[in-house]
Copies of this chain bind each other. A is one copy, B any other.
Amino acid sequence: MLEPFYSPSVQHTLDLIGIFVFAISGALLAVRKNFDIFGIVVLAEVTALGGGLFRDLVIGAVPPTAFTDVGYFVTPMFAALLVIFLHPQVERIQTGVNVFDAAGLGLFCVTGTIKAYEYGLGLHAAAALGLATAVGGGVLRDVLANEVPSLLRWDRDLYAVPAIVGALLVVACIHYDALTPLTSGLAVLTAFVLRLLAMRYHWRAPRAWNRRSTVREEEGA
């Protein structure tokens, strides 16, 4: 097992920030789908904690942190309350929310990969699970809201790729015995900036060969 290489309190704070911004995105979707306030809280909790819960079940870390740490559990409630009372304002600062969400993505792909490795998974598996930690909550959010997960849709800006890059940087650092607070911070930053660039310049992944993306198609999507 690795030495914990953030101070625990720093790591905890970073986790809570990531949880908070993911919860905001869940709560906003719930408002758009016209859910009641309990539905908003549920979707905030699932979005914020779903990825980490899946990771913990897979690596056998039960009961998962989502259920043992009160802060993890209460934070999405605050996010939901904020959205319930201020959602027009929160919508208006959607760009700000997206920036935080990008930060959450960067944090979770890195901490998820490290935790999976600490529990004995191999490097490729740790990276895959880091990715699942970062994007799993959003997929669950969309499934519960009965929508096609935006992760999978071609007409969305790149979301998985920044997380994959962040996770791969971490396993490269582990492989070369270079995982330090600095290098893992750089991995977070890389994923974060890549996601920001993808949103700014609308980077999108291609679809299967022979499918051209035209404006017409985009309108109909």
Contact = CB atoms under 8 A, between A and B. Distances in A.
A181 interface: no
A183 B85 CA distance: 36
A68 B124 CA distance: 9
Given A63-B121, A148-B145, A211-B34, A153 B70 contact: no
Interface of A: 30-31, 33-40, 42-43, 53, 57-60, 62-64, 67-68, 70, 73, 83-88, 119-122, 124-125, 128-129, 139, 143-149, 151-154, 160-161, 204-211, 221
Contact of A208 (B31, B119, B145): B31
Nearest to A45: B128
Copies in the complex: 3
A139 B152 CA distance: 17
Which 3 residue pairs of A and B lie closest in terms of their CB atoms, listed nearest first? A39-B152, A60-B62, A36-B154
Given A73-B125, A207-B36, A42 B160 contact: yes
